[in-house]
């Protein structure tokens, strides 16, 4: 990839559009020269290339670093609040012609400012575009992700070794050079891919470590639980099977009994039994009724007997009562108390005087002793009315005794008849194997109950099995999850181990590759340095240490890297850069500003003589001042110069003329 064209618009001193073209087609001529006086755009051109690729500037001295990137002349010409654009475009050719074009634009706007009349403000981000010639060579196509394209093909990290300022070359041996050398070697060796792989492997290993779930502490108990559940399910299934067999056996038994009962006319037996039961129930009722009647009879007999045997006394009383009631003095006409007063006065109720111990006195005394004549009257009256009725009721009672006896006798007759019938039924049942049938019926009841028990057992066992299976399934899911996790963990551990082995292996390879290349570059650098520097024989040894620091040692082993002259430093830098360049897979031009500005003629001769050979077939662009381009330098390079460009300041236009 060779730089064929640079187009610069309003970039610092390059006012307007400026185009520099390099001839890349001349065979054997791989050097382009840009010649200019000091402060005539040589370093600006180097910076323009760098800015186009990476978006910043690398090579300005402190006095220029704060200056605007925008051409001051352009700013002055731009009205206030108007926009303006600075842009640099690079065209790279391959053997067929233009291949890539990279353009960076930055937009500014002029704004008023009391302190700075040329105040401009950047508008948005840089616009960087890339175009690539298609495969057929018929037209350019847009390169997507141009920054990535640049990072892959012209990485900024090693730009130090491709785009460089010879006068500042010594600065590359600063403190971070080790990193740059290491980075450069890694890039040259394409170790980046290996590093990427190692990083990816480490990230993967880290992911594996995080992914490990760890063994479940309850897994043992769970497994044991599942085994126990299996045993219990088996146990229940065995019991269920037994119960089902038992049920079938019992059903068969029941069928046999039913067949027997059917064949032994069970219906008749049952009818007899029902009849027997009905008669016995009737007997019980008759006995109860008979008992009631008997009690009534006994009561009646006793009552009648009492009455019969007291009849004489009652009649005597009745007779007396009639006598009293039929007498003249009944009911008594006077109160017993009044009679008592009459007795005291020895007077009769009729008013006559009565004599002592006379019948009249005796009657009056009795009358006086009667507590209450009204009560007496009432008792006598009640007894007179009731006692004959009592006597009369005796006949009724005796009549009722006869009736009750007849009734009781009827009950007894009925009971006897029933007993006879019961005896007959019993005889018939006996003749019909009733006892055996009863036993069979009882056996049937017993078997029926056994079937119900067995069916209940079957339900219990079935439910147990269902429940246990559900529990087992749940446990198995858990267990399978644990197993899966365990298997996954084991797989992860295995992968992690492989990953680590790969990391180790990759790092070993990387170290080997790095060492091989480093040794190679070290050897080439030493060779190149001896060729470039005319006093190189004074330096005993050129090395790149294991920590990637460059060193040049004298014959006594002393470190000379920081004591090199400008010329020696340039030669050493170029030696290392060319060595690196030769191992590099990057096909980019080498652009060196002031390659021999501060070195003596001897070195200049060596550089001019050897650099083209050391960088054979590589495009080299030297940005030189007229004073650098001495006759010696010119003599050795002239044959290999393909393009010579002169930059001159145009005081009229305020820009730079390119010729």
**Which residues of the shown chain bind other proteins in the complex (CB under 8 A)?**
294-299, 301-310, 312-314, 316-317, 320, 324, 369-371, 375-376, 378-383, 386-387, 390, 398, 401-402, 405
Name beta bridge partners: 305: none
What is the closest distance, in whole angstroms, from the C-beta atom of residue 408 to other proteins in the complex? 11
Q: Smallest gap, in angstroms, from Cβ of residue 284 to other proteins?
A: 18
Of 397 and 609, nearer to other proteins (C-beta) is 397
- Residue ranges of alpha helices (H) inside 13-107 are 42-54, 62-65, 72-77
Q: Round to whole Å and give the CA distance between 602 and 534.
A: 6
**Residue 314 or 482 with smaller CB distance to other proteins:** 314
Distance of alpha carbon 257 from alpha carbon 244, whole angstroms: 20
Judged by beta carbon, residue 307 or residue 422, the one nearer other proteins is 307
Q: Of the two residues 125 and 328, which places its CB atom closer to other proteins in the complex?
A: 328
Alpha helices in 31-170 (DSSP H): 42-54, 62-65, 72-77, 146-153
CB under 8 Å to 517, separation ≥6 — which residues?
185, 188, 189, 583
Which residues face 87 on adjacent strands? 9, 105
- At its nearest, how many Å lie between other proteins and the CB of residue 454? 54
- For residue 542, the tally of other CB atoms under 10 A from its CB is 25
The residue ranges of DSSP E strands in 143-183, in sequence order, are: 163-165
What is the nearest approach in angstroms of other proteins to the Cβ of residue 452?
48
Instruction: List beta partners, residue 17.
Output: 9
Nearest approach, Cβ of 325 to other proteins (angstroms)? 12
Beta carbon nearer to other proteins, 312 or 344: 312
What the block records as the tokens of 167 is 């006068």
By beta-carbon proximity to other proteins, the closer residue of 412 and 545 is: 412
The helix (run of H) or strand (run of E) holding residue 447 is: helix 434-532
Distance, in Å, from the CA atom of 99 to the CA atom of 132, rounded to the nearest integer, reads 6
Task: Give the single-character DSSP code of 175.
Answer: T
Cβ(24)–Cβ(642) under 8 Å?
A: yes
Minimum Å gap between C-beta 312 and other proteins is 7
Smallest distance, Å, CB 344 to other proteins? 21
Structure tokens at 594: 């002031």
Assess whether the previous peptide bond of 515 is cis (omega < 30° from 0). no
- Residues 6 or more apart in contact with residue 203 via CB below 8 angstroms: none
CA dist 579 and 575 (Å) reads: 6
Question: Is the Cβ of residue 312 or residue 652 nearer to other proteins in the bound state?
Answer: 312
| Bond before 331 cis per omega within 30 degrees | yes
End-to-end CA distance of the chain: 24
Choice between 313 and 350, CB closer to other proteins: 313
Minimum Å distance from CB 420 to other proteins?
Answer: 24
Using the 8-state DSSP alphabet, how is residue 365 labeled? H
- Toward other proteins, which CB reaches closer, 405 or 469? 405
- Alpha-carbon span 19 to 90, nearest angstrom: 10
Question: Of the two residues 214 and 402, which places its CB atom closer to other proteins in the complex?
Answer: 402
CA separation for the pair 506, 509 (Å, rounded): 5
Q: How far is the CB of 308 from other proteins (least distance, A)?
A: 6
**Least distance to other proteins, CB of residue 259, Å:** 53
The span from the CA of 412 to the CA of 225, in Å, is: 79
Q: Which is nearer to other proteins, 179 or 386 (CB)?
A: 386
CB of 352 to other proteins, least distance (A): 25
Q: Which of 168, 370 has the CB closer to other proteins? A: 370
Minimum CB separation of residue 396 from other proteins in Å reads 12
Considering the complex, what minimum distance in angstroms separates the CB of residue 379 from other proteins?
5
Task: List all residues 6 or more positions away from 472 whose beta carbon is below 8 Å from its beta carbon.
Answer: 226, 229, 230, 233
Chain centroid offset of residue 422 CA: 84
Beta bridge pairs of residue 3 = 92
Name which of 177 and 368 has its Cβ closer to other proteins. 368
């Amino acid at each position: 990839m060779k730089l064929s064209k640079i187009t610069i618009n309003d970039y610092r001193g390059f006012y307007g559009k400026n185009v520099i073209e390099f001839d890349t087609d001349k065979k054997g001529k791989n050097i382009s020269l840009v010649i200019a006086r000091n402060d005539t755009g040589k370093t600006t051109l180097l910076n323009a290339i760098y800015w186009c690729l990476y978006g910043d500037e690398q090579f300005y001295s402190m006095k220029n670093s704060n200056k605007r990137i925008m051409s001051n002349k352009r700013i002055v010409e731009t009205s206030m609040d108007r926009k303006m654009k600075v842009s640099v475009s690079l065209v790279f050719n391959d053997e067929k012609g233009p291949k890539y074009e990279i353009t960076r634009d930055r937009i500014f706007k002029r704004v008023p400012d009391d302190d700075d009349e040329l105040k401009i403000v950047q508008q948005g981000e840089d616009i960087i575009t890339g175009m690539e010639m298609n495969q057929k060579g018929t037209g350019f196509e847009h390169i997507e992700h141009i920054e990535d394209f640049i990072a892959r093909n012209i990485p900024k990290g090693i730009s130090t070794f491709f785009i460089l300022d010879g006068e500042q070359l010594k600065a590359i041996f600063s403190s971070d050079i080790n990193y740059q050398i290491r980075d450069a070697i890694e890039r040259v060796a394409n170790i980046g891919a290996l590093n990427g792989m190692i990083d990816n492997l480490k990230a993967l290993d880290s992911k594996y470590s995080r992914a490990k779930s760890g063994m479940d502490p309850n897994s043992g108990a769970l497994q044991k639980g599942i085994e126990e559940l299996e045993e219990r399910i088996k146990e229940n299934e065995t019991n269920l099977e037994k119960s089902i067999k038992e049920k079938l056996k019992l059903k068969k038994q029941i069928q046999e009994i039913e067949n027997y009962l059917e064949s032994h006319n069970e219906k008749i037996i049952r009818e007899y039994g029902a009849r027997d039961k009905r008669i016995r129930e009737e007997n019980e009722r008759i006995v109860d009724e008979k008992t009631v009647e008997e009690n009534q009879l006994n009561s009646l007999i006793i009552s009648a007997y009492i009455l019969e045997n007291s009849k004489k006394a009652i009649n005597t009383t009745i007779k007396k009562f009639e006598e009293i009631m039929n007498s003249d003095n009944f009911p008594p006409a006077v109160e017993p108390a009044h009679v008592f007063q009459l007795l005291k006065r020895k007077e009769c109720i009729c008013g006559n005087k009565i004599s002592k111990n006379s019948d009249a006195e005796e009657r009056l005394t009795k009358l006086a002793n009667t507590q209450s004549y009204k009560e007496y009257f009432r008792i006598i009256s009640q007894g007179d009315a009731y006692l004959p009725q009592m006597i009369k009721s005796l006949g009724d009672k005796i009549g009722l005794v006869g009736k009750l006896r007849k009734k009781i006798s009827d009950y007894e007759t009925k009971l006897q008849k029933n007993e006879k019938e019961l005896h007959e039924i019993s005889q018939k049942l006996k003749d019909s194997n009733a006892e055996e049938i009863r036993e069979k019926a009882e056996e049937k009841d017993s078997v029926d109950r056994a079937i119900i028990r067995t069916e209940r057992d079957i339900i219990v066992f079935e439910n147990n099995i269902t429940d246990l299976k559900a529990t087992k399934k749940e446990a198995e899911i858990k267990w399978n999850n644990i197993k899966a996790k365990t298997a996954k963990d084991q797989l992860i551990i295995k992968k992690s181990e492989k990953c680590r082995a790969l990391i180790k292996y990759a790092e070993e390879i990387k170290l080997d590759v790095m060492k091989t290349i480093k040794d190679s570059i070290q050897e080439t650098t030493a060779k190149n340095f001896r060729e470039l520097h005319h006093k190189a024989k004074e330096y005993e040894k050129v090395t790149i240490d294991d920590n990637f620091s460059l060193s040049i040692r004298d014959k006594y082993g002393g470190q000379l890297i920081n004591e090199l002259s400008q010329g020696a430093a340039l030669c050493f830098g170029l030696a290392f850069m060319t060595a690196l360049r030769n191992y590099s897979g990057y096909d980019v031009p080498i652009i060196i500003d002031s390659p021999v500005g501060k070195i003596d003629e001897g070195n200049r001769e060596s550089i001019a003589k050897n650099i083209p050979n050391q960088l054979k077939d590589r495009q080299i662009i030297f940005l030189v001042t007229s004073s650098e381009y001495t006759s010696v330098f010119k003599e050795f390079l002239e044959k290999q110069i393909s393009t010579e460009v002169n930059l001159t300041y145009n005081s009229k236009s305020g820009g730079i003329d390119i010729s």
